Amino acid sequence: MAGLVFSGCGIKPFSQSLALPSRGFINKNSKNPSNLVLLQSKHPIFSSRTTNPDGFSKWEVKVSAPFRLPSLDEENFEKERGGRISSDEEIVKEEEKFDAGAPPPFKLSDIRAAIPKHCWVKDPWRSMNYVVRDVACVLGLAAGAAYLNNWLVWPLYWAAQGTMFWALFVLGHDCGHGSFSNNPKLNSVVGHILHSSILVPYHGWRISHRTHHQNHGHVENDESWHPLPEKIFKNLDWMTRTLRFTLPFPLLAYPFYLLNRSPGKSGSHFDPSSDLFAPVEKKDVITSTICWTAMLALLVGLNFVVGPIQILKLYGIPYWINVMWLDLVTYLHHHGHEDKLPWYRGKEWSYLRGGLTTIDRDYGWINNIHHDIGTHVIHHLFPQIPHYHLIEATEASKGVLGKYYREPKRSWPLPFHLIGELISSLKKDHYVSDTGDVLYYQTDPKLSGSTTSQNS
């Protein structure tokens, strides 16, 4: 009779030599034959007292693991099992999905502790060696181009000299952060010489850049290349919107930013009364503006000595190449990653979370020329670290940062791949919502060419 019952369920009965309990063997509530549960039985065969001489239970049916009877259809079982595994894998993948906007499981002090102590040491002699190297290169390029004065040479000169102007900016930038040396006077003197030579007001920019570092990732309080809230974006006039998001104009923005900041903000880096500066900083701003004016006056005077065309070739065009480098690098530090990167406001923002949304970039041969400024995540979190220790500090911190560190795509000798990432970002990273505390860029279809607005 038991054999007929089990056969009707698609299960072959036990051998007749094995007596089956009359009740309590199968849990009738189990819908899955592969998960049959053995219940207690009073039958002597299943008694725990029935053991082999070695002390182990004689019947395997006493085990508590799920029991699969041998006659279950193999193909159906494998299909069912495979579907279950696939479903489990999807759940695991969903659980492992990284949320860049979530608070990190580590503190700023954890990252600091992972960085070797010598990476914090500022060597003024080593820093000055870089200054001497770069200034010598700038003067040598200018002398060589003026001597040859050949139209086959000038384009090469412009590209090389514009890149060297940008290298001077990065060294002056280190002076502004205090990572050049521990001597504030040395930092200020070198910073003024380097930045004034490429028409940057040293203190004016230094202070606004400090604001950028202290508030990076905050929609309203950040200073450089921060996103526009939707209301401000939609109130931009056609000309401003076009200039901000259409190449090559974003790569020419820096001098205009110095004069009048970004849309939605007012003030000038040359005006000591600007709301960029605290009252105690007015004297520093005046000093920098005077140095900037002196450099501009020198360039005007040289026009009468060597002629405006020669000044344009020797200085003017390299200056704008330098501006393009500056805008390209600073923009890509904070935009254009293949994954969505958050911006914050309100209680969701913190110095650490804001700094972790910066991006490292690889510039190939240019890395050494512009002092590894593409190694930017650690620089943003700890701007006191000298540029010549950034790579080592970054490698040491990766174990703590985990997925919050995004490995840069490796460059060819020249970083042409970044042009595509710049174009892609300008097409879709336009504004963020006026509401919410964890935000992602949204797209204006009129600028992107698409028919519907979409998240970046």
Give the up-direction half-sphere exposure of residue 206: CA atoms within 13 A in the CB hemisphere.
28
pLDDT digits (tens, 9 = 90+) for 90-143: 544 544 678 888 999 999 999 999 999 999 999 999 999 999 999 999 999 999
149 contacts: CB under 8 Å, gap ≥ 6: none
Whether 14 has a pLDDT exceeding 90, the answer reads: no
Whether 2 has a pLDDT exceeding 80, the answer reads: no
Q: What is the pLDDT of residue 46?
A: 42
Measured distance CA(57)–CA(135) in Å, rounded: 87
Q: How confident is the model at residue 3 (pLDDT cuts 50, 70, 90)?
A: very low
Measured distance CA(180)–CA(134) in Å, rounded: 15
- CA-angle at 409, arms to 323 and 383, nearest 5°: 55
With tokens 């050949």, the residue in question is 150
Nearest to residue 170, comparing CAs of 397, 42, 284, 330? 330
Question: Which pTM does this prediction carry?
Answer: 0.77
Whether 182 has a pLDDT exceeding 90, the answer reads: yes
Q: What is the pLDDT of residue 58?
A: 44
Q: What is the pLDDT of residue 49?
A: 44
Whether 271 has a pLDDT exceeding 90, the answer reads: yes
In the chain, where are the structural domains located? Answer: 2-96, 108-448
Measured distance CA(423)–CA(324) in Å, rounded: 14
Whether 38 has a pLDDT exceeding 60, the answer reads: no
Eight-class DSSP state of 264: T
Measured distance CA(122)–CA(388) in Å, rounded: 9
Interval 28-33 mean pLDDT: 46
Interval 331-337 mean pLDDT: 92
Q: What is the pLDDT of residue 76?
A: 53
Interval 264-286 mean pLDDT: 93
pLDDT digits (tens, 9 = 90+) for 48-99: 444 444 444 444 444 444 444 444 455 554 555 555 555 555 544 544 678 8
Phi/psi of residue 246, each to 5°?
A: -120, 120
Q: What is the pLDDT of residue 83?
A: 54
With tokens 């901000």, the residue in question is 244
Cβ(405)–Cβ(397) below 8 Å: yes
Interval 202-213 mean pLDDT: 96
Q: Is 67 helix (H, G, I), strand (E, B) or coil?
A: strand
pLDDT digits (tens, 9 = 90+) for 312-325: 999 999 999 999 99
Q: How confident is the model at residue 331 (pLDDT cuts 50, 70, 90)?
A: very high
Beta-ladder partners of 431: 228, 442
Cβ(168)–Cβ(198) below 8 Å: yes
Q: What is the pLDDT of residue 310?
A: 96
Task: Give me the sign of the Cα torsion angle 223, 229, 232, 238.
Answer: positive
Measured distance CA(51)–CA(29) in Å, rounded: 31
Q: How confident is the model at residue 40 (pLDDT cuts 50, 70, 90)?
A: very low
Q: What is the pLDDT of residue 344?
A: 96
Buried b (16+ CB within 10 A) or exposed e, 190-225: bbbbbbbbbbbbbbbbbbbbeebbebbbbbebbbbb
Q: What is the pLDDT of residue 402?
A: 94
Q: How confident is the model at residue 264 (pLDDT cuts 50, 70, 90)?
A: confident
Query: How many residues make up the chain in this entry?
Result: 456
Average pLDDT, the chain: 84
Measured distance CA(303)–CA(332) in Å, rounded: 35
Q: What is the pLDDT of residue 116?
A: 97
Q: What is the pLDDT of residue 22?
A: 44
- How many whole angstroms from its chain centre is CA 237? 30
- Please classify residue 446 by burial: count the beta carbons closer than 10 Å to its beta carbon, then call 0-12 exposed, 13-18 middle and 19+ buried: exposed
Interval 139-156 mean pLDDT: 96
Q: Is 442 helix (H, G, I), strand (E, B) or coil?
A: strand
Instruction: Flag the least confident range among 146-160, 185-199, 288-302, 329-343.
Output: 329-343
Show the DSSP H helices in 115-181 as ranges. 124-148, 154-177
Interval 3-32 mean pLDDT: 44
Whether 357 has a pLDDT exceeding 50, the answer reads: yes
Measured distance CA(204)–CA(140) in Å, rounded: 30
Measured distance CA(374)–CA(330) in Å, rounded: 9
81-85 own/partner pairs: CB under 8 Å, 24+ apart = 81/34
Q: Do the strands 343-344 and 431-432 form a parallel or antiparallel pair, or are they unpaired? A: unpaired
